[in-house]
Amino acid sequence: MRFLIKTTIPTEAGNAAVRDGSIGEKAMRIIKEQKPEAVYFVEEGGQRTQYLVVNMDSANQLPSIAEPWWLTFGGTVEIHQAMTPEDLEQAGLEGIAKTWA
């Protein structure tokens, strides 16, 4: 299953990592381990934020996604299951609408 992972790095932890030169190394180590399909770095709410698209086969993989961000940066992590257009086509919306509309 495909998931959209949003992580944020608190300002103080991010500033400390920028000052000591480790922010890129730390973030890239996590990203390489997680092997996302895509990664985007943005500012959101004044914080350094990363969006990753990750495939997971099982819920037991969630800690390996979230824990590195928490342990390394004290960041926040949001995990959302995501669908492709093909997934949406196969979701059976017509049947759901007939039952519930």
- CATH number of the domain that residue 8 is part of: 3.30.70.260
Bridge partners, residue 6, by sequence: 51, 78
pLDDT for 30 equals 96
Around Cβ 15, how many Cβ atoms within 10 Å? 13
The widest CA-to-CA distance across the chain, in whole angstroms, is 59
pLDDT digits (tens, 9 = 90+) for 40-80: 999 999 999 999 999 999 999 999 999 999 999 999 999 99
The answer to whether residue 18 scores a pLDDT higher than 90 is yes
Task: Examine the pLDDT at 101 and tell me if it is beyond 90.
Answer: no
pTM, entire model: 0.85
Rounded average pLDDT over 78-91: 93
| Percentage of residues of the chain with pLDDT beyond 70 | 100
Number of domains, the chain: 1
Domain of residue 52, residue span: 2-100
Q: What are phi and psi of 80, to 5 degrees?
A: -130, 125
